[in-house]
Structure formats: structure tokens, C-alpha cells
Structure 1
Amino acid sequence: MLPAKKTAPSAPPAQEETSLLSPATIFHAYQQENKRFTNYTKHWHQQLASLHETEQLFVVS
């Protein structure tokens, strides 16, 4: 049986791909934060609308 051929180690990935500060990583993090903030503000707009409706009930009666 022939010994397994040793392969040269593959080249390390490009620095930009592994860096936490790569444009793709920063943009992805920005998108995640933007989505989270949008959901947060939607939630609070709903809460305020609900509170406003409740307030109107007390004003009318």
C-alpha cells in the first residue's frame, strides 16, 4: 500500500474575509442593528397607539 500523499497546506484565506472589520462584516452588522431598531420602533409605535386609544376612552367617558 502506498503512503498517503502529503498535500501542501492550503493558502490562508484573504485577510479581508477573516477580519471583523471587513466591509461585508460591518455591513451585515449594520443591517442586523437596523432591523432590530426598526422592529423596536414599530413595537413602541404600536404601544403608543394603544395607549392613545385607551386615553381617548377615558377622555370620552
Structure 2
Amino acid sequence: MDDLDDAISAVLAGGGEHVVSRESTSFVPVRMGELRDTEGNGFELRQFMSDGEDLTSLNPP
């Protein structure tokens, strides 16, 4: 996803709940948001953060 904050805002606008967010680190370059929908089902959204570094070699075909 391109923007985790926009996605969280959309979930909240639809009546969902934001449980927690975790920011990226140098070891784990992913921002993550844990959310719940209006029925209480939990799910995660993730935004990959690379700072322009090519990390494609970490995910071979």
C-alpha cells in the first residue's frame, strides 16, 4: 500500500477501529497497522518503507 495513514483513516471513516501501529526500523522496513472492522474481525495493513534502496534481491522470484 502507498500510504498507511490514509488507509487507517479510511477504515476509521467506515466505522472500524485502529488497535495499534508499529513503525519501520532498520531491521524491519515495514510500517504496520492492526485494525478491526465493524464486526470485530482483526486484520493488518502494511506499508513497505525502503528509503530508495533497491531491496528486490531480498525477495527472489
Give TM class, smaller chain: under 0.3
Structure whose residues are more often helix by fraction: 1
TM-score, normalised relative to structure 1: 0.21
TM-score, normalised relative to structure 2: 0.21
Structure whose residues are more often strand by fraction: 2
